[in-house]
Chains A and B, each alone.
Chain A
């Protein structure tokens, strides 16, 4: 690959001003925040890896392949819904982001977060049962064949789908990986582990269903042209495997991390 080709790879296939603005804004706020209140090295690395991975799958040439090969679309969603938000949640960037805001913004954000509608909404979303149902529900919803067809065709729905995945992923992993002292997100470690375990079986079932279905469920990829020219079934099976194994694996890693943290904090007593 020549240098020009390498650069071309960074040109977004479908540029989205919103995604670029949000990414740049969070990066700027985080850098400012880190200068004001010191952050540890490892959470910083997690935050940056998470943010960069979200950006790469949505605003580079990767997006062309995600639109034209089902398994690439599944990889995109594993990053948007699992890996990227998981890493960002591990980085716990809330404090640094708040510290990075100008004082007026921070006051506005605090006011907004304390306002009754937002409180009620977060209280509802942070309910363990609702959070698990939403996490699985979103995966299932966008994989229903007629809905998937239209979502891959209509760019507005495509963006709605990808935004929904990323936001829901951030909410879920932030809730289960971190131990917040304040309501409404102060769930016990046991509850958080149970939540992560609860999302495993449905993902395995959906992944297995995709893998074992003997006919093409998502003709949109054949119709719009497949990027790698693999057969429709091979593509679908690979996509199923990605949901089946790596996506479900993220929960296992999360469970181990929460257990490890609990162990460490209990040892001295």
Chain B
């Protein structure tokens, strides 16, 4: 008797699980609007930080509410991914035209010892000082946001001058919800398309 019951229970458990997967995928298909970039809505927490911007003022996520935020972790001495990403961002902002007003770019440093607000200010001036902000802060505040988005921030083992950092852009909507991830090999068109859509969905 108990044996039969346990089998019944097992079958119920497995079919319940399959049913949930089915409902989940049906729901996703039902919304019908697929983003071109990777959709991570619901998987990463709300944007939240308290840091120092490149003009020396204290900023929090509230200063960027109402705008689409593109977030990138890096450091100014980085020679590969960071300048490539920064150039790409400034190119995208140019192509966005008028829509760029509703977009803010945040460059958060993983090397606060070297990247003072002044250094960051000079650095972003080379790319897009109008829409971009370079953020630094106390090691605790920086570690909190790095952890929040599962990014790395420590010197690579065996290399004194290289810090491991994430190579992905996080896109937050006007409410500060993490929505999309930009992979290094995603095309500019995809980013333009999805950012535009996010701006116009809200308005």
Q: Is A43 an interface residue (CB 8 A)?
A: no
Q: How far is the CA of A130 from the CA of B9 in the complex (A)?
A: 12
Are A229 and B158 also in contact (CB < 8 A) when A14-B147, A68-B164, A224-B166 are?
yes
Q: In the complex, are the beta carbons of A227 and B152 less than 8 A apart?
A: yes
Q: Nearest-CB distance from B81 to chain A (Å)?
A: 10
Q: How far is the CA of A224 from the CA of B156 in the complex (A)?
A: 13
Q: Nearest-CB distance from A177 to chain B (Å)?
A: 22
Q: Nearest-CB distance from B180 to chain A (Å)?
A: 12
Q: In the complex, are the beta carbons of A229 and B157 less than 8 A apart?
A: yes
Q: Nearest-CB distance from A160 to chain B (Å)?
A: 13
Which of A123, A153, A222, A228 is within 8 Å of B150, CB to CB? A153
Q: In the complex, are the beta carbons of B10 and A225 less than 8 A apart?
A: no
Chain B 4-19, CB-CB to A under 8 Å as 1, else 0, gives 0111011001000000
Which of A14, A67, A68, A150 has the largest number of chain B CB atoms within 10 A?
Answer: A68
Q: In the complex, are the beta carbons of A124 and B150 less than 8 A apart?
A: no
Q: Nearest-CB distance from A235 to chain B (Å)?
A: 12
Q: In the complex, are the beta carbons of B165 and A225 less than 8 A apart?
A: yes
Q: In the complex, are the beta carbons of B164 and A223 less than 8 A apart?
A: no
The range of chain A's interface size is 20 to 34
Which of A64, A153, A227 is within 8 Å of B44, CB to CB? A153
Which residues on A sit within 8 Å (CB–CB) of B73? 225
Which single residue of chain A is at the shortest CB-CB distance from B181?
A223
Q: In the complex, are the beta carbons of B6 and A68 less than 8 A apart?
A: no
Are A124 and B10 also in contact (CB < 8 A) when A223-B181, A227-B152 are?
yes
Chain B 35-49, CB-CB to A under 8 Å as 1, else 0, gives 000001011110000
Q: How far is the CA of A119 from the CA of B44 in the complex (A)?
A: 38
Chain A binding surface SS class: helix
Q: Is B2 an interface residue (CB 8 A)?
A: yes
Q: In the complex, are the beta carbons of A223 and B166 less than 8 A apart?
A: yes
Which of B6, B159, B184 has the largest number of chain A CB atoms within 10 A?
Answer: B6
Are A225 and B151 also in contact (CB < 8 A) when A124-B10, A153-B44 are?
yes
Q: How far is the CA of A222 from the CA of B3 in the complex (A)?
A: 48
Task: Mark out the residues of chain A between 200 and 253 whose CB falls within 8 Å of any chain B CB in the assembled complex.
Answer: 219, 222-229
Q: In the complex, are the beta carbons of B157 and A227 less than 8 A apart?
A: yes
Which of A64, A124, A130 is within 8 Å of B154, CB to CB? A64
Q: Is A120 an interface residue (CB 8 A)?
A: yes
Which single residue of chain A is at the shortest CB-CB distance from B147?
A14
Q: How far is the CA of A257 from the CA of B157 in the complex (A)?
A: 39
Q: How far is the CA of A203 from the CA of B9 in the complex (A)?
A: 28
Q: Nearest-CB distance from B154 to chain A (Å)?
A: 7
Q: Is A121 an interface residue (CB 8 A)?
A: yes
Are A68 and B3 also in contact (CB < 8 A) when A124-B9, A153-B40, A229-B158 are?
no
Q: In the complex, are the beta carbons of A127 and B6 less than 8 A apart?
A: yes
Q: In the complex, are the beta carbons of A121 and B152 less than 8 A apart?
A: no
Q: Is A5 an interface residue (CB 8 A)?
A: no
Which single residue of chain A is at the shortest CB-CB distance from B146?
A225
Q: How far is the CA of A157 from the CA of B152 in the complex (A)?
A: 19
Q: How far is the CA of A100 from the CA of B164 in the complex (A)?
A: 46
Q: In the complex, are the beta carbons of B166 and A225 less than 8 A apart?
A: yes
Q: How far is the CA of A144 from the CA of B184 in the complex (A)?
A: 22
Chain A residues with a Cβ under 8 A of chain B? 13-14, 64, 67-68, 119-121, 123-124, 127, 130, 150, 152-155, 157, 219, 222-229
**Known contacts A67-B150, A121-B9, A225-B73; can you find 10 more A-B pairs with CB under 8 A?**
A121-B6, A150-B40, A223-B168, A224-B152, A225-B152, A225-B167, A227-B152, A227-B164, A229-B156, A229-B159
Complex A-B: 14 CB contacts under 8 Å = A68-B164, A119-B2, A121-B9, A124-B9, A124-B13, A153-B43, A154-B43, A155-B150, A222-B167, A223-B181, A224-B152, A225-B73, A225-B164, A228-B157
| 5 residue pairs, one from A and one from B, having the closest CB atoms | A225-B152, A229-B156, A154-B43, A223-B168, A123-B6
Chain B residues with a Cβ under 8 A of chain A? 2-3, 5-7, 9-10, 13, 40, 42-45, 73, 147, 150-154, 156-159, 162, 164-168, 181, 183-184
